[in-house]
Structure 1
Amino acid sequence: MGGLTNFALGILAAILAGLYQSNVHFVLYTGVRLFLGVGHTLEPLSAFPAYKCRRIEDERLQACEDMWLSEATRQLFLACSSPKGRHQWSPNGAIFNASGRSLTDHVAVLDIDEPEGAGFTTRVLETPGYPGTHGDGTLNLVGMSGHDDDDDGEVRLWLIDAKPSVDPATGRVLEDQAAAGGNQTVEVFRTTGGRKAKGLAHLDSFSHPLIMTPNRVAAVGDDTNAFWITNDLGHSESRWKRNISPIFSQGSVAHCSSSDPQTCTAAIPSGLSWPNGLVQNHHDGRLYVPSSMLGTIDVYAPAKNGSLHVKVDTVDVGYSLDNLMVDKDGDVWAAVFPVAKDLGAAFDDPYGSHGIAAAAMRIRKVPNGGGYEVDKVLEDGFGEVLPMTTSVVHDATTGRLFFSSEFPFLFHLKVPCSQ
């Protein structure tokens, strides 16, 4: 018995030593600190007197996890859903109640230079001809990206559609979605209606084994509809494997293009700890990939074929990160979670969770090789006005900040903060 115990202890010691030799101990230590908000001093909105914030109450702007600003047309596009639907159907989170998913997901658009009441002129874009889930025309939206094709209002949008899997013979939604893993695709649309978008015309659809647990898409903007995409939890089938995936750095980045034949390649096959809302900065040509687990942003110099072999920098932000955005001046803006553990409460009770901290960080490149400046521009440390923010857009033309959230409180979802 003693020999068996010693053998078991030896195996355990070997496993622990292996974990220590790997990066797991560092990832776990850093992730726990960010999860608990260790070292973060929460500041109220009153600590940032340069900004005045207000909530916009609109039923069309619920659970808008991601958004993108068209600088050419001055339209803010949002990928919106239903809080209850997200709670029932989230393939990335291994939540597979397809019957409870939202059937009303949509892209909303705000004309941000046209105030209307407490908000802005707002429309919901129709998607005529889009098949959705076996012809039902529905969307199940996650991340999004866009590109201004010209100054006449031509805008392309890339949307992650987390559809359920169906029986190809009958078209019925499969009962065991956990086994099927859902049917996550990237759909490319072009707006119709010029500078006042009225609808979305479907251009392209990407379905590939490398689109596994897609979190966010970053458009290249070329004529092949190319993009990069983060798989935040890698290729993890079961819920428990997805829960530990960030610890073992199983996240990845893929590059996809509709060149003949349509294909995706593994730009970064693995090694990323919960890669979240990546973005391409067309000012410096770099791809910025945030890690929610480590609170860092890896900066890559992409090759023309979509490979990301050259990592040129890592920026330590010090907060758990969600989506990144780039403003027209080339500054990168990050929605961060000052206390990441509160995500669970917001997800479980989107209408009843209050007082959750949210903040916006700016990452600015210092000239002449001086690295990066990281500044906390605004924080609502006690959840007085802002939702628990998953995306923040900086409108450099006016200085306003727009906040959106996958976790809404009532209909207070789109928050402009003006200087």
Structure 2
Amino acid sequence: MNARRYTRTTTRSRTTAVALLAVTATLSGSLLGACSTDSSDSSDSTDSGTSVATSAAESSETTPGTAPAEQPVSCVGEIDPADSEAVRRAAASTLSVGVTGFDDAATAVDAGVRHIFIGSTTDQSLLNGQGDPARSLAALQERAGGDLTVSVDEEGGQVQRLADLTGPLPSAREMTATMAPAEVTDLFTDHARKLRDFGITVDFAPDVDLDGGEAVSDNAIGDRAFSADPAVVVEYGRAVIDGLLAGGVTPVIKHFPGHGHATGDSHLGTVTTPPIDQMGPDLQPFAELAQIPGVAVMVGHMQVPGFDVEGVNGAETPASLNPASYGLLRSGVNDAPGFDGVIYTDDLTGMQAITDHFSPGDAVVTALRAGADAPLVSSGMDAAAVSGVLDAVVAGVADGSLDLGVVTTAADRICASGPATGVPEPVNG
């Protein structure tokens, strides 16, 4: 396998507006080393006008007397775009696929999928210790060669899939009202250990959207938010993250760039936020919490006025399909360093903000092209339908509308992320 070197910009965005200008300038090439468009221009520029996507030869140059930087080995290796089977396997390894039970999960794993999602309709006998060991997550892990990621939505309150097995968690709003951050960390450390016992390795939590409505019906968030104050959201979001990491589960903060002040529910249709230049407070929890080693980020489906890049109108494009979202994360949110971890989309196949306009295959191709690492296809389709999604990705690579480098870079970043082990001690513990 060939070594692949990842590079990031050495300049940070000083304001959201500056970052968006940088993203606009790079749409015709790769977005900050993580995302390519269907343009043949693969360069990316910093504020100084120098290339971010340096060649291997340029990357190997070092200052005299210094050792060359270690270059991560690619999990995917070099792929011939004409090798449709190799393209298909690489694409499958990027998908996060919702499953209902062992049989469809096995079908997905055999197709090359390495991330399955446990949802509200999943047969809980699939979990380790809850049914036939031969039809469990442990058996699927073995089938996948030990590389299977298993995720779930366990925020607490109204969003908790396994409360009958793990015990109920309070909502985010209740946590801030009744618990100290250290207590939240302890709660989620214990909870993460239970999830690991079941075979789960990723939790799509915490929700770090700001509190912008009393009820979930207001904006799909309601009491899922810790607070309207970004500082409180950061404090309690960090407490959850520390607990999950301490228990060996990868946290995924959501829903970038911020759902709390949106109007509408993306499960039911179009969602619009305030203009991007008014969303500094909504962005702040992502700016701070994404810096914690081991954290991943989920991008939501809200449409954001002013979140524009060349050829893409943010007011009309869900953030999950908008290159501006991934460009801002990679360049740095609210003056923070750029994020180099795994970026998920929210569900692309069961939420009407997407399904009203895109087929599953088109949504996945568009998300990958925009810069997503891990498109989530968790509902509204059977895992057996993954074949059609992969057909769309292979076709996109074949006709040039999707750069193969986008797929392999996403697959490599996911592979390199590894499990939530060897993490720092919780700061709230």
Do they fold alike, i.e. is TM over 0.5? no
TM-score normalised by L of structure 1: 0.30
- Structure with bigger strand share is 1
Q: Which has the higher contact order (CA 8 A, sep 6+)?
A: 2
TM-score, normalised relative to structure 2? 0.30
Specify which structure has the higher proportion of helix. 2
